[in-house]
Structure 1
Amino acid sequence: MPLPITAAVLLDGSDRLTLTDVLLDDPLDREVVVRTEHVGLCHSDVHYVEGSLGIDRPAVLGHEVAGIVEAVGAQVSRVRVGQRVVATVTPSCGQCPHCLAGRPTQCSRVAEVRARPRPRFALPDGTPVQALADMGAFGEAFLASEDSLAIVPDDVPSVVACLLGCCVTTGVGAVVHGAQVRSEDTVAVIGCGGVGIAALQGARLAGARRIVALDSQPAKLEVARRFGATDTLLSQGDPADVVRRLHDLVPGGVSHAIEAVGNPATAALAFDLLAPAGTATVLGLMPEGRTIGIPADALVYGDRRIQGAYMGANRFLSDVDMFVDHYRSGRLDLDGMVTEVLPFDQIDEGLRRMRDPGTIRVVLRVGAGAA
Structure 2
Amino acid sequence: MEGPQGASSAADGVDDRRHIVISTVTAAVLHTVGEPLEFEAIAIDHPGAFEVLVRVERVGLCHSDLHYIRGLLDIGTPAILGHEVAGIVETVGAGVTRMNVGDRVVATVTPACGMCRQCLRGRPTQCQRVDLVRLRPRPKHHRMDGSVVGALGGLGAFAQAILVTESSLAVVDKTVPPEVACLFGCCVSTGVGAVVHGAAVRPHDTVAVIGCGGVGIAAIQGARLAGARRIIAIDSEPRKLVVAKRFGATDAVLAGKSPEAAVSAVHQIESGGVDHAIEAVGRTETAELAFGCLAPAGAATILGLMPTGSSLRIPAEDLVYGDRTVRGAYMGANRFLSDVAMFTDHYRGGRLDLDAMVTRVIDFADINDGFAAMSDPDNVRTVVNMTGGV
TM-score normalised over the length of structure 1? 0.98
Q: Is 1:361 equivalent to 2:384 in the alignment?
A: no
Deviation by residue 1:67-96 (Cα, 9 ceiling, x = unmatched)? 000011111111111000000000000011
- Is 1:136–2:156 an aligned residue pair? yes
The yes-or-no answer on 1:32 pairing with 2:59 is no
Look up the match of 1:48.
68
1:187 Cα offset (Å) = 0.2
Once the two structures are TM-superposed, the CA of residue 316 in structure 1 deviates from its matched residue by: 0.2
> Aligned partners of 1:342 and 1:104: how far apart in 2?
33
Residue from 324, 330, 333 that aligns with 1:310: 330
1:92 aligns with 2:112: yes
Distance 2:316 2:288 in 1: 12
Shift of 1:11: 1.2
Alignment of 1:1-371 (within 5 A): 1=12, 3-12=23-32, 15-368=35-388
CA deviation after TM superposition for structure 1 residue 288, in Å: 2.2
What is the CA RMSD across the aligned residues, in angstroms?
A: 1.1
Cα distance per residue 1:321-370 (max 9 Å; x no partner)? 0000000000001100001000100000111111111111000001259x
> C-alpha separation between the residues in 1 aligned to 2:52 and 2:228?
39
SS at match of 1:354: helix
CA contact (8 A) 2:31 2:37 kept: yes
Deviations 1:160-206 (A, max 9, x none): 10000000000000000000000000000000000000000000000
SS at match of 1:300: helix
SS in 1 for 2:362: strand
Letter in 2 for 1:194: G
1:248-286 CA deviation, whole Å, 9 max, x = no partner?
111110000000000111101100100000000000001
Give, as a single letter, the amino acid of the residue that structure 2 aligns with 1:310: Y
Cα deviation 1:214-271 (Å, max 9, x = unaligned): 0001111010001110000001122222111111111110000000000111101100
Shift of 1:12: 3.4
The total of aligned residue pairs comes to: 369
Could you give the per-residue CA deviations for residues 3-58 of structure 1, whole angstroms, max 9, x where no partner exists?
A: 11101011136611011101011111011000000000000111111111111111
| Partner SS, residue 336 of structure 1 | coil
Q: Secondary structure at the match of 2:375?
A: coil
Secondary structure of the structure 2 residue equivalent to 1:66: strand
Question: Within 1, Cα distance between the matches of 2:140 and 2:287?
Answer: 36
Once the 2 structures are TM-superposed, how far is the Cα of residue 287 of structure 1 from its aligned partner? 1.9
The gaps in structure 1 that reach 5 residues or longer are none
| Alignment partners' CA distance in 2, 1:229 and 1:18 | 39
- Give the Cα–Cα distance (whole angstroms) in 1 for the partners of residues 253 and 363 of structure 2: 35
Q: Which stretches in structure 2 are left out of the alignment for 5+ residues?
A: 1-11, 13-21
Write the letter of the residue equivalent to 1:68.
I
**What amino acid is the match of 2:195?**
V
Percent pairwise identity: 62
Range moving further from structure 2, 73-82 or 206-215: 73-82
After TM superposition, give the deviation of residue 211 of structure 1 in Å.
0.1
The residue identity in structure 1 corresponding to 2:249 is A
SS at match of 1:98: helix
How far apart are the structure 2 equivalents of 1:14 and 1:230?
Answer: 38
Moved over 6 A (4+): none
Equivalent residue of 1:306, what SS?
A: strand
Q: Quick one: distance in 2 between partners of 1:25 and 1:118? A: 9
